[in-house]
A and B are shown apart, each in its own frame.
Chain A
Amino acid sequence: MATLIIARLTFRELLRRRLILALLSLTAIVIGLTVWGFSRVPGLHLGGVPLTPAEIQIAAAQLLLLVMFMFSFVFALTCAFVAAPAIAGDVESGVAQAVLARPVRREELLLGRWLGLAVPVAIYAVASSTAEFLLVDWTTGYLPREIVAAEGALVVEGLVLLTFTLALSTRISAITAGVISVIAFGTMWLGGVAGAFGQVFHNQAITEVGVITHFLLPTDGLWRAAVFGMEPASFVVLARHGLGSSFQASSGASAGYLAWVGFWLLAVLAVALLSFRTREI
């Protein structure tokens, strides 16, 4: 019960502090700009010759991947920024003292904060990426192959970073938790890029760097699963023959990897609960 009260309070905070308004406004502007850009693609010429429908599809897919890469980056950072002060800020300001003096378990406070952040950011990610996909389809005719899988991977990527940051927030200051989380996210992305290069050049050691980072903090692994769902089949074929770029994926997330991500989320949440339960306030 207290979990839902805290979750509702958290959502109300996002609204009152105008975070949701800012996100929606800026996203609408960015989607508007990108759709304008996509609408120009069918009219492009290559060597004085108009693009063929197949070329339009490939150009649109490549551009969409770039736009969604930026979106996933901003989305992940948003998750880190909202989670960083969720517990640490309450403890520093004294709000947590007032709440925990009530018959509220620390687990309820933490899960309420998680729920109150996770649900709105997940809805935001699904709504904004769906809008982008449909508008790109409308302007260029390109629609990703596996929209649900791609959006699911994007959402879980954000939730992974949100959960990781929240766990840090139970012990360290908001600013430090945010910085560590962003650095970890960037490092995992670099590790994933290195792993993709390793695959292209058949270098086992570099490939393993990517594999390890995908398991350590599975943000980049999930991003690649999202890429797989958004890219056209031709990109998959190229990637499988080692001819693609490091920003293309040769396969989606396996059932084993998804199970690992689920376990990872539960384990980090459990660590966060244990950490907060034993923290002195």
Chain B
Amino acid sequence: MGALAARSPAIHVVALTKRYGNNLALAGLTMTVPRGEIFGFLGPNGAGKTTAVRLLLGLARASSGEGMVLGSPLGSLEARQRIGYLPELFRYQGWLRAREVLELHCELARVESSARRVEIETALETVGLTGRGEDKVETFSKGMQQRLGLGVALLGDPELVLLDEPTSALDPVGRHDVREVLRGLKQRGVAVFLNSHLLAEVEQVCDRVAVVDHGRVVAQGTLAELLAGPQVRVRCTGLDGAALAQLEHFGSIHQDADWLTVSGLAGGEVPALVAAIVAAGGQIHAVDPGQQTLEDRFLQLVEEN
């Protein structure tokens, strides 16, 4: 690996576009994923997340735009040599044993034959499949197959791991285990590209996030940059449109049935907000100060888009 490639970001794409006939699946994706970070790639169903992963791996070709993965062109053998990938459709040959699936991918990933045994045992242990290596994949539950898929993605000492919905079939224990695996990868300096719509999970592990909708990135940055900071939720009745307009100077207001969410509130302004609601004729039933969650921000971005 050249020095330039070693310094390059894990992923850098500029204006990546993918068109299927008249359908624009990805509309000018521009993003940079630094090395050694966990990057959350979020979006509603059909937003273009899986299309982006396919372009990164060279499984599909971009209609326009360009990019590099680990300093090599998208889909190149050099890039794929250093990538671990868990597909969304994590199906492996059901007639193979779990250990054989791992052996196959060790061979394909060009892992030295002397190192394969240790690699396989470590992968099985990491994903919680110790003792199940001799079982056929077709006897595994979906969750166990997903664990195996994660184990496959970890083989070959990858510098970048692309995970497409890695916890969709897992129970809460499995999800916790995956989060621990991701943190372990980060500690080893491995970049993780986490494609998911499980926002709470992303919020717990990701350093940086991009939100994609209708094939475009609508926001990206660190979680601190992306989230609006303090907010207060007020359950109140009796406010009309004019009364709501009077409250706008407190911050960004989002109404969901009886709940008002006011984001960007300056510190210590909650009593003033409550007084203003009462003065405008509103009846207050509850006040819940807190921090904007990624889910709140995600919904806000998708609605705005």
Residues of chain A whose beta carbon lies under 8 Å from any beta carbon of chain B = 2, 5, 9, 12-13, 16-17, 93-95, 97-105, 280-281
Contact = CB atoms under 8 A, between A and B. Distances in A.
Contacts of A97: 57, 59, 85, 87, 89
B91 A101 contact: no
Nearest to A100: B59
Interface in B235-267: none
Interface string B20-61: 000000000000000000000000000000000010011111
Contacts, number: 66
Given A2-B108, A97-B87, A280-B60, A102 B80 contact: yes
A101 B80 contact: yes
Q: Please classify the interface of chain A as helix (H, G, I), strand (E, B), loop, or mixed, using the class held by over half of its residues.
A: helix
Give 8 nearest A-B pairs by CB, closest first: A94-B89, A101-B85, A102-B108, A280-B60, A16-B95, A281-B59, A103-B81, A103-B77
Nearest to B56: A101
B110 interface: yes
Interface of B: 54, 57-61, 77-78, 80-81, 83, 85, 87-93, 95-96, 104-105, 107-110, 149, 152, 162
B214 to A, nearest CB: 20
A103 B85 CA distance: 12
Contacts of B110: 103
Nearest to A104: B108
Contact of B107 (A5, A13, A16, A280): A5
Contact of A281 (B54, B78, B105, B109): B54
28 contacts: A2-B108, A5-B104, A9-B104, A13-B95, A16-B95, A17-B95, A95-B93, A97-B85, A97-B87, A98-B85, A98-B87, A98-B149, A98-B152, A101-B80, A101-B83, A102-B109, A103-B77, A103-B78, A103-B80, A103-B81, A103-B109, A104-B80, A105-B77, A280-B54, A280-B60, A280-B61, A281-B54, A281-B60
